[in-house]
């Protein structure tokens, strides 16, 4: 079974999202690197983001809109150079089939603002068997209080 069928109907890029800004507002809100990744479907260089090495308890949220995406307990070391998770928070992400660069992948985006986060692959650890390979620049980390 393909990942798209595991996630239900694929999301169309023309979809509207609850959190919307103009292009000028996105550029003002995000750093140039965050804008390139979240709004331009870019990718950061492997191993370049501090969130890949984040080990504290807490939550990873979308850098674009602040929606909570992943709990730290779902993060694992994949050896890829990008933060990897085996499961997102329920309803926090959507997927789209991605045929860029001559490859077929499943893109992951924030379900609230549509920002590009990364990709999901079927080579993760049990029980999900999934690896959400996420750009660290697309997220912010919120440490657990107390």
Predicted pLDDT of residue 47: 94
Predicted pLDDT of residue 37: 97
Predicted pLDDT of residue 14: 64
Predicted pLDDT of residue 99: 73
Predicted pLDDT of residue 101: 66
| N-to-C CA span, the chain | 42
Question: How far is 33 from 138, CA to CA, in rounded Å?
Answer: 9
Residues 6+ apart with CB under 8 A from 97: 4, 10, 104, 105, 106, 107
Measure the CA dihedral 88/93/97/100, to 10°: -90
Strands 139-143 and 58-62: antiparallel
Q: Which of 49, 65, 113, 133 is catalytic?
A: 133
**What domains are defined for the chain?**
21-143 (2.170.150.20)
Residue 133 catalytic?
Answer: yes
Give me the tens of pLDDT residue by residue for the chain, a chain 146 residues long: 344 333 433 334 567 899 999 999 999 999 999 999 999 999 999 999 999 999 999 999 999 999 999 999 999 999 999 999 999 999 999 998 877 767 788 999 999 999 999 999 999 999 999 999 999 999 999 999 87
pTM exceeding 0.85: yes
């Amino acid at each position: 079974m393909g990942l798209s069928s595991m996630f239900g109907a694929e999301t169309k890029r023309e979809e509207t999202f609850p959190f919307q800004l103009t292009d000028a507002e996105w550029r003002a809100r995000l750093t140039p690197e965050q804008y390139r990744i979240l709004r331009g479907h870019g990718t950061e260089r492997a191993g370049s983001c501090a969130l890949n090495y984040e080990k504290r308890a807490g939550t990873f949220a979308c850098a674009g809109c602040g929606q909570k995406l992943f709990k730290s307990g779902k993060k694992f070391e994949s050896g890829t150079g990008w933060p990897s998770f085996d499961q997102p928070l329920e309803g926090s992400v959507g997927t789209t089939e991605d045929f860029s660069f001559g490859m077929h992948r499943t893109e992951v985006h924030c379900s609230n603002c549509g920002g590009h986060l990364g990709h999901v692959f079927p080579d993760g650890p049990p029980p999900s068997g999934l690896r959400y390979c996420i750009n660290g620049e697309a997220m912010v980390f919120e440490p657990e209080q107390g």
